Amino acid sequence: MPKPTERPLPLRATLFDVAKMVGVSIQTVSAVINDKPGISAATRERVRQAASELDYRPNILASSLRARKSLSLGVLVSSITNTFFPEFVRGVEDVAHANGYSLFLCNSDSRPEKELTYLQLLRQHAVAGLIAAYEVCAESRELLIDLIDHGTPVVTLGRERIHPRAVTLDSSDEAGGYLAGQHLFSLGHQRIGVICPPRNQVGLDRMAGFARAFRENGRPFADEYWVEGGGFEFTHGQIGMERLASLPELPTAILAANDLVAIGAAHVLHKLGYQVPADVSVVGYDDIRMAELFNPPLTTIVQPMYQLGETAMRALLRRWAKPALNGSHKTFHPKLVVRESTAARRRDKQTSKTTNRRTPYA
């Protein structure tokens, strides 16, 4: 029990409690809390001291509703099971949380109708901004443009800016694809299989980088060793590798659409009895956390996933502070990290699906 001379604290202090303790009006307390002019220094100090003693915390949601300002943003991803996106979203969320904002995370499963439904829902909730972490369908693109026209800042990933006021973050997939291909050629590989990414902008850029490496090394591209995997998931790597394994001669190296596809391809090689990289080298893309933990650790192209998320969120913060800001384009440069899934081609043997089966690697 409190002593008679002590003031019991309310369970949740309000503006009224602070005003009563100081002996001023609620309007005066509100003016101090919101740092408005016209209040003396002495009164400000008394109000702040009382707010501290009462552990008063402003109701952010109520304040945002009164100001007609949302404190939420939408983040649209194509597949939350793709381990690129959790790291990206973590970068967004860390900056958002530090600045009093929350996220609506929407997973489209790469389905245009689901993507459009989510965007319409986010517009109905009047989100303060939107981050689209991949290339959206044509209908969604129109909706994003409409949001921008009505004052909602939008950030997209990719090299194409959809609107003069849109922010675009480009991870230079063409350059990354070239680095991956050039690495295998530098190791002496000539018969290189490619498990192609989807034919969206990201996928086309990566394939353009692969193709440039092939051209510079005098090798044909888009032949029978370029196979469709169908996507960026583990199963797409399995599908692509099974197609490559059906060829008369197995490639000595694999360029995969991303790390999950590379891991799926390595899984099939394991089942067929080949060793990575003793029989077949494998290169991924993205440098997801699993890449370093995989056995063998995966050679891959590093994308700054967390930094991309941080940058996307900070771009929204700047445009909320200065709504008249134009759009911008920022390019992040990928780099190659060499681990244990690639090795020099062994010139004293051929890798054939009929003559050179190996015991599975550990």
Contacts of 254 (CB under 8 A, 6+ apart): 192, 193, 194, 195, 241, 244, 262, 265, 280, 281, 282, 283
Parallel/antiparallel/unpaired status of strands 72-77 and 102-107: parallel
Same-domain check for residues 137 and 285: no
Same-domain check for residues 312 and 294: no
Same-domain check for residues 140 and 222: no
Number of domains in the chain: 3
Same-domain check for residues 205 and 164: no
Confidence check: pLDDT of 58 > 60 = yes
pLDDT tens figures, 154-213: 999 988 889 999 999 998 999 999 999 999 999 999 999 999 999 888 899 999 999 999
* Domain CATH number, residue 98: 3.40.50.2300
Same-domain check for residues 181 and 295: yes
On whether the pTM is more than 0.75, the answer is: no
Domain range spanning residue 285? 173-302
- Contacts of residues 314-320 at CB distance under 8 Å and 24 or more positions apart, as own/partner, are 314/95, 315/153, 315/155, 315/167, 315/169, 316/73, 316/128, 316/129, 316/131, 316/153, 316/155, 316/167, 317/95, 317/99, 319/129, 319/153, 319/167, 320/128, 320/129, 320/153
Same-domain check for residues 209 and 233: yes
Residue at 288 is within a domain: yes
Query: Could you tell me the pLDDT band of residue 218, with boundaries at 50, 70 and 90?
Result: very high
Contacts of 142 (CB under 8 A, 6+ apart): none
Instruction: Check if the beta carbon of residue 56 is closer than 8 Å to that of residue 17.
Output: yes
Share the mean pLDDT of the chain: 87
Residue at 337 is within a domain: no
Query: Could you tell me the pLDDT band of residue 259, with boundaries at 50, 70 and 90?
Result: very high
Model pLDDT, residue 175: 96
d(CA 341, CA 233): 19
Kindly list the distances between the CA atom of residue 271 and the CA atoms of 111, 227, 259, 265, in Å, as whole numbers in the listed order.
32, 20, 18, 10
Residue at 2 is within a domain: no
